Structure 1
């Protein structure tokens, strides 16, 4: 099938004239700025934040470009990956008409964003081994299906989705395939960013919230064709990424070696935690993980969760999530935190 972005973009977005901010109309350096109605006297902080930030976060994109091997023109930066997800719905899906496909169990914001934007959801559950049901997805696609969301490594299951299955969708679906790689830094599978030149209908989401440890800054990334990124930039608010987040993200991106070292420690701790948890009789299964968390099937997820809350230890109860009955999700902590968890569980009784 031949993908054509004009066939899926909303008509009102095609005609949209984006807001032109003061920083869009003038780029460069000047000695006096009297164009943006800012407070020229400064801000009541140690560092001045009285000027509007770079609307396109060019410096951050340039640094990311060096790390990811992708030109800045193929990068969108937003207020967390959730902003990118919302822009996808607002740009490509007509409310009350179009639909998207999700593959539960998966990240919950796809459904929330669809509901906010009045877009129908089609659910095609993962198989029992948490892989794509390609036949089910093919049967669910209709003329109003605009996007398929795939989280890989998947949240909450932790496993990576088979690459060849995603490639099958990319090659045969005449809409957007959105691959959410929030946990890709912990995975043995390579990023789909490398396939952007191969598939014009591919959108890859990543974040600085996980391996990079910047959850509080809310820095999300989308990687896609230049055409798709231009639409993102057209629809986004003029200053969607604040100056403080841009500055701190730029500083963090200079420390790749530190992040890689942390990833090694997290993976080692993950293996150690899995080994220890397997020794508890209330643990029925621990699913393979390519993320910084593990999904653990227990004899009574509610009891495990409530017991740990009483001990001041918070994990995620996934018992009510389809295909995750009896499961809890445990983030990999520091050695001390993981030890506190396992010591507490020694006293747990069903």
Structure 2
């Protein structure tokens, strides 16, 4: 019923794939860094167009996001074993949220992309997002805002998505595995709960992931530079006497690079009063400024959603010493 096996192993894949995994003996890499690392801070028009025209497998990112998040929750019951288990759990959550960011930020180019977004939205939905009609509504304003941002981050435009699989006919068999939707993470990822899958050397490799800490200041600088590039290309596209489509496509590529850099800066934790903390505050200001621009709504909503979700990582990284952001966002939804 699915093209994907229910592989519970979290060892990196043998070949560097769409999620940035490396060989089984190598280190575990940041998925967003793997996707964007080949593009420098001063890309050519051709590089931006090629990046926008690439076709990442968003279904694979959605699968990896759920696998890592589920495994992080399984490790909760082993935290007493030492700090390396705690760091492995944080690493899994960073990778999970990074893969989720990729699904949310990348535009819908194909039906498969739309399926991945809808599946990821379902897997990460907030409690209260779909209250039964028999229950009285009881949302507070903060949760309601988070639900709206979550919906906007994964919005695909339902009119472009085909209907789900046909219901079984009277003579059909295989009802126990009949697909419930076009792409369902429950059918592709082992069920939540149970014992942790990683241990020993693999646990240490996941623990070491957080040692490769990115410079959040550099990431925020990259966001600002790529956004400026996208804005300038859009102006040029509106004034050129030649075909404006390559300029617009390159602008989309630059904007994608900007928001993926912003996602990394949003997800990774920062210590209070550090340069990284200052970078996070600057990111909030820059993202707020984009509320009046023509950036895609799902990209603006995605960063707001990620900053909120990253607070859970910050709490677990070093409680009381790690920055937790509660921005006053300009409304976009």
Same fold (TM over 0.5): no
- Higher helix content, 1 or 2: 2
Band of TM-score, shorter chain = under 0.3
Structure with more of its chain in strand, by fraction: 1
Structure whose alpha-carbon radius of gyration is higher: 1
Greater RCO, CA 8 A, separation 6+: 2
